[in-house]
Amino acid sequence: VSDTKDIHYEKPGVTIDTVIFTIVEDRLEVLLVKRADVPFQGSWSLPGGFILQGESLEAAVQRILLDKAGMSGSYLEQLYTFGQPDRDPRSRVITVAYLVLLPWKRTPGPLSPKVSGTEWTAVHYLPKLAFDHNQIVLYAVERLRAKAGYSNIGIGLLPDKFRLSDLQRVYEVILGHDLDKRNFRKKMHATGLLEETGEKEIIGAHRPAMLFRFKEKKVVNLD
Amino acid sequence: VSDTKDIHYEKPGVTIDTVIFTIVEDRLEVLLVKRADVPFQGSWSLPGGFILQGESLEAAVQRILLDKAGMSGSYLEQLYTFGQPDRDPRSRVITVAYLVLLPWKRTPGPLSPKVSGTEWTAVHYLPKLAFDHNQIVLYAVERLRAKAGYSNIGIGLLPDKFRLSDLQRVYEVILGHDLDKRNFRKKMHATGLLEETGEKEIIGAHRPAMLFRFKEKKVVNLD
DNA sequence: CCAAAAGTGTTATTGATACACCCATGC
DNA sequence: GCATGGGTGTATCAATAACACTTTTGG
């Protein structure tokens, strides 16, 4: 029963932490921010913050994204709530972790962090992070892998129009192993979620690739 | 960044709410408690409560289970954190919802609620609950259904020793449709998780059934 | 001997995997 | 004309789904 009247113990703090993924040069990268204050001063940590009055959890995530990363996420999913009593050395803080996917912009450069003190880091070379943030990132990677197996989660990491080889690359990077081109394309077409844009894109001295788009902009479970 | 120093807005409250499932006479039932206080005085609601200082979220769930239901859960999983600003009409309260499975005791009777003001209710005949608790129960049922498809979640709803027909019944109740006996048993045996106890059980005028046990006491993903 | 649940295999269908060549382009 | 990525189909294997009869017990 959610009863507020009998609180005689101190309220825990509640924060949001975000695991923001993107793909850069065939690597899965996560956005980190350098902590300005104690504890863990100077350590890297996940972008996060407190929830404002009257603000939904999702709205808080979007606000934090804009403040800390200078961008708004294309896909957003609640991950898990971490509440070990000692996870913050100062006081009890419970954090609701979110998984965020940023569309990978073809154009190189503008994906570089917009906010000073932030940096994209490959998940394979993650430093020791503040608080329990390493655990949170691992949990997020696990979730992302699992979802790659049974959903079109790749949509969150791609621009509106993309080549099938881009889509395949996204899944390969998430899963950590190569996929068969013909089987991958067969399966993707079978979902009925892809539509041709009619446009073709030429990169370098190759046969031009058809650009595709997802009919549904939402992440959806396949089969 | 989990920074407590710059809180100038009021902290939200944090609660735990539990969706406690069991199976009674081939029905999936959930434990409800009648609210003694405003708001929603007299309404049914999910067992819940505040988190004590220094208490982990899981420990809080176990404590609430014991207090409100007079029993400890066999399976426990964090469901989702609900934080809509208006979900509690008095003040901002964020709740971390847990899914709990109670082993169905063969012996009829002792599963009846131990604590006054609590009642088991079939999920198909759920009344209008306090707060957003209907939404939480729906979410829990969805999760349970999904897990029935790819895990041995049934373990949480069964006593230590059980007949294969009991196990099948559990899955049928969760999924809401009948399963083929031979295919079900083939699949279950193929997991390698079942072991014969050697004991047989005779109920009524029938051929006695072998009692089985799960080798792993944990819920595990199949395939 | 009858009613009721326990137990047991085979076939058909479906989905997943493995695998190799031609095409269009820029230089 | 050559290097590079784009694009396509078939055969095998594994998993799933459909389906019916015999066994053991108590009454």
pLDDT digits (tens, 9 = 90+) for A6-16: 545 678 999 99
Q: Residue B23: is its pLDDT beyond 70?
A: yes
Which residue, among A69, A78, A77, has the nearest Cα to A96 in the 3D structure?
A: A78
Confidence class of residue B217 from pLDDT cuts 50, 70 and 90? confident
pLDDT tens column, A133-157: 999 999 999 999 999 999 999 999 9
Q: Find the mean pLDDT for residues B148-152.
A: 94
User: What is the structure's pLDDT at A222?
Assistant: 81
Is the model's pLDDT at A85 over the cut of 70? Answer: yes
* A48-50 vs A118-122, strand pairing mode: unpaired
Residue A159, burial from CB neighbour count under 10 angstroms (0-12, 13-18, 19+): middle
- Closest residue by Cα to the C1' atom of nucleotide D27? B205
- Look up the pTM and report it: 0.93
Q: What is the pLDDT of residues B202-214, one digit of tens each?
A: 988 999 999 999 9
Are A53 and B15 a contacting pair at CB < 8 A? no
Produce one character per residue of A101-116: b if its CB has 16 or more CB atoms within 10 Å, e if not: bbbbeeeeeebebeee
Mean pLDDT (whole number) for B98-102: 96
Strands A27-34 and A118-122: antiparallel
Whether residue A90 is predicted with pLDDT greater than 80 in this model: the reply is: yes
Among protein residues, the one whose C-alpha sits closest to the C1' atom of C4 is B206
* pLDDT for the residue numbered B1: 42
> Is the four-CA dihedral B107, B111, B112, B114 of positive or negative sign?
positive
Of A2, A37, A88, the CB nearest to B95: A2
pLDDT at B88 over 50: yes
Closest residue by Cα to residue B18 from B37, B39, B33: B33
**How do residues A153-187 score in pLDDT, each as one tens digit?**
999 999 999 999 999 999 999 999 999 999 999 99
Whether the Cβ atoms of residue A96 and residue A76 lie closer than 8 Å to each other: no
